[in-house]
Amino acid sequence: MTAPSDPSELLPLTPVAFEILLSLTEENRHGYAIMRAVEERAAGRGRLHAGSLYRALARLLDSGLIEERDPPLEETDERRRYYRLTRLGRRVAVAEARRLESQVGAARDLGLLGET
Amino acid sequence: MARPGGGFSTWVYALLLRCYPKPFRERHGEEMTHVFAEGAAAARESGPIRWLWYLSGALWDPVRNGLAERIEDAKKDRSAGDAIMRSVRGPNERRGGRMESWIGDAKYALRTLLRNPGFTVVAVVTIGLGIGANTAIFSVVKTVLLDPLPYDDPDELVMLWGEMRNRGVTHFPSSPPDLRDYREQADLLQDLEGVFSFQIALTGDGDPVQVNAGSVTPGFLAMLGVEPILGRGFVEEDGTPNDPNFLPGQPGALPGMVLLSHALWQQRYGSDPSVVGRTVELGGGPGEILGVMPRGFELLLPAAAALHDPIDLWIAARIDFDNSPRNNVFLRPVGRLRDGATSGQLQAQVDRISTDLAALDQVKSTAGYAMRVEELKSDLTSDVRAVLVALFGAVVFVLLIACANVSNLLLVRASGRDRELAVRAAMGGSRGRLIRQMLIESGVLALAGAVLGVLLAAGGIRVLLALQPGDLPRIEGVGIDLPVLAFTLLAAAVAALVFGTIPALQASSFELADALKERGQARGGRGSKLLRNGVIIGEVALSLVLLIGAGLMVRSFVELNRVEPGYEPAGLLTFNAAPPFAAYPTAQDRVNFKIGLAQRLETLPGVERAGAGFPLPLAGDLFNGRYGPEEALTNPEAFGQAAYRFIMPGYFEAMGTRVLAGRTFTLADVADSAAVVVVDELVAESLWPGESAIGNRFLVRVVSPEPEWVEVIGVVEHQRAETLASDGMEAVYFHDVYTGGFGGSWAVRTGVDPLSLVPQIRAELAALDANVPLADVRLMESYVDQSMGPTRFALTLIGAFGLLALTLASIGLYGVLSYVVRQRTSEIGVRMAFGAARSGILKLIVGHGLLLSGAGIALGLLIALPLTSVMDTLLVGVQPTDSLTFLGISVIFVLVAALACYVPARRATLVDPVAALREE
């Protein structure tokens, strides 16, 4: 599938997809590590099961936002596959963050979040 | 179906992944399974609640997301497909076809079933239980009875068993010269090889251990088609003979050529490939490691071959075939038929050779010598075929009963669906179409039942393995694989036809106008009533048969627990500590070792008595020889066959075997190697019926080739040694010096927890001789328990299936009577209006139910009488037609049936006559 060059075409992202991009911004990870990272950020407010994770991963792979890479040398479990953010993926993540930020900003301006 | 690591939940998860479309599954499935397993492992560490919480979410996840993914795929497909269709047919053409209408029917069936969840759940669970039981038992039957043995052309392999028909001996080993003669003269055999086993100490490279050695003629493993994974297999030279008077365990001048089992290679040598070529010490003599056998290789021979299990290493037997005596029998001959030859043809050929051999030998000619040919596979499974056939019969019954229940449910439900069906018919649905619709509903139910059944079976197989049916060969390999799944589908299809056909025909054969006119009042036509009653009678009959089977097993188990084995298993510890021949060359040396160890053990606090004896009862070793009165010198047909046991003073006291007359051995007997023996009550009774045996002499053959005289000093009670379930062979007890002091099994009677003594026993043994391994430490109770295993296994399963059948039949009875009550409400109302007492109504309904169950019980008894004979070999101390069981189970059944009838009957008595009549 050819990737569009303009990141805004892919917005908005689903929350799970955005979380995956965030977790891969930190470092390259395998599926279970992504799941752990997302769950840690959610701090017990929700659980991400493999099904939701991999459906989102499949979409992200198809649209070229992430790609598979070789596992690091210290990885001993050969069943693990590692993913990393592509340049496009990084641009889309930034665009999505900006979009959310502007929405949150608007909410704050309207006093939805109380006085800050 | 490969089973990813991580246990049952992972297996279920992998199964549930099938909800996803195939391409998605292929792309991510393996990884997802892995992620699931990692998550499960982490959740498990944080406690059971967390784990269950995780499982409930994670197992639902693939269903939800998988279906969502499919729907998304379908949307994509449809938009693509629609475009293609439009281009071909034009926009207005209606799609449709045979396939589509089937799918439509299935969808309709699914909707109908989901609208009625109570009915659907009951039906699916009922069918699921039946199919689950069938799947589990079939997986066992397939692995144990149907799968080919893991050797080259396994159907060509045969066993040759010696028989001594005049002495009731059916599984006699062969001597080397006999084996050679059969090998040379039976040209229908490509190969004929021999095997025997013994226990021997492996020393010289680490802690001394006792290993089970399988000793084979050099061509044996190659005949099976098994090659070592490391090093080389045996060649002819590896069996170059050592010594004409071969005794098991005796070291020779030439090294023993050894192939390690994969397990021993891993455990003792850490999978080190450089062990090949290394020299080790075997029973004090040299052994050279030639190679390593493949993982999982095992020699599957019938239990009657009395081989040790598992075999830790293989040794090429150094046998002098030309000079070994013909009465030194120890080899189990296994052969391979030539292409196209049958075991029947071979039997004829072997018979001719046996006749020639018998003519040469007085013992053979008088004992009724013969050689029996058995196909290896059927021989291997002959002991367990009865239990598997009985179990398979039981689960087929359970499935039929389940089908009967669902069939009745469908019949009842169909009568409530008249209007719907009538409307469909009125709108042009043909009879065939209606039948198809009903059958598809049955199919959907059966399929759902099959899915549930596979899950139940997967769990059931684990329960089954936990029951440790030790005598089922290859039972560890049982699992759910493709052939088992195919069987499940077949069972589901048959079940759907069985429970779906009658209701389908019934539902489609009504009078359209009547149905539309009637106001939802169910039809109570003569035909459908007969059907329902017939189904319930059949159901009661089948479950009665099953329950009688279960009752017979219960009685057997009770009998088995009441058996007095001839020793006191409680508080009895057994182990093996045998003096190696190299370090203890003479019989007196070996006996002194045993006297020394016994004295050391008896000083331990908690030990009451310690005595060596070989072989120990129920431990699997058998050793037998002939015995007879003086008459046998001139008439060898007077010889009988007895188990020979070689014991030290203290053995009977430690075993708790009662002395019935005379005395047992003392150290004085052992010191002068007197020709005195102790016999059991069976020998005494057969040689000197009604007289005292003490001081009498009789003939045995144990140390010399000719019959020898021994004198009886004592009579003890008979020990059950082969199995707990039957008396077994009579026994003669020799003291150890007389017979050469081999073997080294011990019985220790304790006043404390026997296992608590093991460290001290080990220390005492090490203090006496650090090179003698302590092996096979076991409670006598565990041998007894093991011997009860097959009975317990059959009892648990047949009992469980019997109870399941009883439950299903009661539910069926209850359901039908409830329906009858509902149907007869107005009739009951009329009766009550005319003054019938409530007790009369109760009688009416209960009577109806009891009439049905009575007919079912009568039919069941008729079926059970001939059928229980298949269980004959499973039963202990009870006849297959035991009248007490037949009567007792029938009574239980009547009581349960009465209960199942009482509830609906009671409801009938609560009918308000006015309301009932107004409804009319």
Q: Determine, for residues B38 and A32 on separate chains, whether the beta-carbon distance falls below 8 Å.
A: yes
Reported confidence tier of residue A49, pLDDT bands at 50, 70, 90: confident
Name the closest residue on chain A to residue B64, using Cα atoms.
A51
B55 touches chain A (CB under 8 A): no
- Is the residue at A6 inside a domain? no
Q: Mean pLDDT highest for which of B105-119, B430-444, B838-852, B876-890?
A: B876-890
Structure tokens at B874: 């499973």
User: What is the CB-side half-sphere exposure of residue B160 using CA atoms within 13 A?
Assistant: 35
Instruction: Establish if B431 touches chain A: CB-CB under 8 angstroms.
Output: no
Is the confidence at residue B525, as pLDDT, over 90?
A: no
pLDDT of amino acid B243? 62
- Structure confidence by residue, pLDDT tens digits, B737-778: 888 887 789 999 999 999 999 999 999 999 999 888 888 899
Assigned token pair, B733:
């007890």
Instruction: State the pLDDT at residue B418.
Output: 65
- Average pLDDT, integer, range B34-48: 85
First to last CA, chain A: 45
High-pLDDT (> 70) share of chain B, %: 90
For residue B189, is pLDDT > 90? yes
DSSP assignment of B97-121: -HHHHHHHHHHHHHHHHHHSHHHHH
For residue B646, the SS3 value is strand
CB contact under 8 A, B65 and A52: yes
Q: CB B28 to CB A52 under 8 A? A: no
Cross-chain Cβ contact A35/B57 below 8 Å: no
B684 falls in which pLDDT band (50, 70, 90)?
very high
**Domain that includes residue A68, residue range:** 13-109
> In which band, very low, low, confident or very high, does the pLDDT at A4 lie, cut at 50, 70 and 90?
low
CB contact under 8 A, A52 and B30: no
Q: Are B404 and B812 in contact (CB under 8 A)?
A: yes
Residues 6+ apart with CB under 8 A from B398: B129, B130, B133, B134, B546, B801, B804, B805, B808
Contact B546, B802 (CB under 8 A): yes
Number of domains chain A contains: 1
**Residues sharing a CB contact under 8 Å with residue A35, sequence separation 6 or more, in sequence order:** A48, A50, A53, B35, B39
Q: B404-413, B468-477, B523-532, B584-593: which range is least confident on average? A: B523-532
- Tell me: the pLDDT tens digits for B179-188? 999 999 999 9
Contact status of B73 with chain A (Cβ, < 8 Å): no
Long-range contacts of B883-886 (CB under 8 A, 24+ apart): B884/B555, B885/B548, B885/B551, B885/B552, B885/B555, B886/B548, B886/B861
Q: What is residue B475's predicted lDDT score, i.e. its pLDDT?
A: 83
Query: Between chains, do B32 and A54 touch, taking CB under 8 Å as contact?
Result: yes
Q: Establish if B28 touches chain A: CB-CB under 8 angstroms.
A: yes
Instruction: Give pLDDT, residue B561.
Output: 87
CB burial string A31-70: b at 16+ within 10 A, e below = bbbbbbbbbeeeeeeebbbbbbbbbbbebbbebbbbeeee
DSSP designation for B749: E
Q: At what angle do helices B780-823 and B883-909 cross, to 10 degrees?
A: 30
pLDDT at residue B15 tops 90: no
Closest to B278 in 3D by CA, of B209, B202, B212: B202
**Per-residue pLDDT, B4:** 42
> In the structure, what pLDDT confidence band is assigned to residue B730 with cuts at 50, 70 and 90?
very high
Residues of B in contact with A35 (CB under 8 A): 35, 39
B103: which 2 tokens? 């799918």
What pLDDT shows up at residue B791? 84
- B133-147 pLDDT, tens digit per residue, is 999 999 999 998 888
> Can you give the CATH number for the domain in which A100 is found?
1.10.10.10
Q: pLDDT confidence of B477, banded at 50, 70, 90?
A: confident
In chain A, which residue's Cα lies nearest the Cα of B37? A32
Q: For B103-112, B290-299, B909-918, which range has the lowest pLDDT when averaged over its residues?
A: B909-918
The ipTM assigned to this model is 0.86
In the predicted structure, residue B69 carries a pLDDT above the cut 60: yes
Give B673's DSSP letter: T
pLDDT at B229: 94
Q: State how far the Cα of B75 lies from the Cα of B659, in Å rounded to an integer.
A: 87
**Among residues A63, A78, A70, which one has the least CA distance to residue A20?**
A63
In tens, the pLDDT along B206-256 reads: 778 889 999 999 999 999 999 999 999 999 999 988 765 555 455 556 888
Query: Does the structure show a pLDDT above 70 at B736?
Result: yes
Query: Cα–Cα distances in Å, from B455 out to B61, B155, B219, B274?
Result: 18, 34, 45, 46
From B30, B39, B58, residue closest to A79, measured CB to CB: B30
DSSP B219-257: THHHHHT---SEE----GGGG----SS--TT---SSPEE
Residue of chain A whose alpha carbon sits nearest to that of B57? A49
- The number of C-alpha atoms within 13 Å of B362 and in the hemisphere containing its C-beta is 11
| Across B429-453, average pLDDT | 84
A50/B35 Cβ within 8 A: yes
Chain A: residue whose CA lies nearest to B55 = A49
Span B809-852, pLDDT tens digits: 888 888 877 877 777 777 788 888 887 788 888 888 888 888 88
* Torsion of the alpha carbons at B325, B328, B332 and B338, rounded to the nearest 10: 20
Q: What mean pLDDT is predicted for residues B167-188?
A: 90
Statement: residue B522 has pLDDT above 60: no
- The predicted model gives A65-91 an average pLDDT of 87
Size of interface A-B (CB pairs under 8 A): 50
Q: How far is A33 from chain B (nearest CA, A)?
A: 9
Residue B562's CB is within 10 A of a number of other CB atoms, namely 9
Residues of A in contact with B27 (CB under 8 A): 58
Bridge partner list, B372: B161
State how far residue A36 is from chain B, nearest Cα, in angstroms: 9
Q: Please tell me which residue, B77 or B92, carries the higher pLDDT value.
A: B77
Dmax over Cα atoms in chain B, in whole Å? 111
Structure tokens at B510: 């009504």
Tell me if chain A has a CB within 8 Å of the CB of B667: no
pLDDT of residue B77: 66
CB-nearest to B57 from A32, A47, A55 is: A47
In the numeric block, which tokens belong to residue B526? 């003569």
B36 vs A: CB within 8 A: yes
Give per-residue pLDDT as tens, B655-683: 999 999 999 999 888 887 788 999 999 99
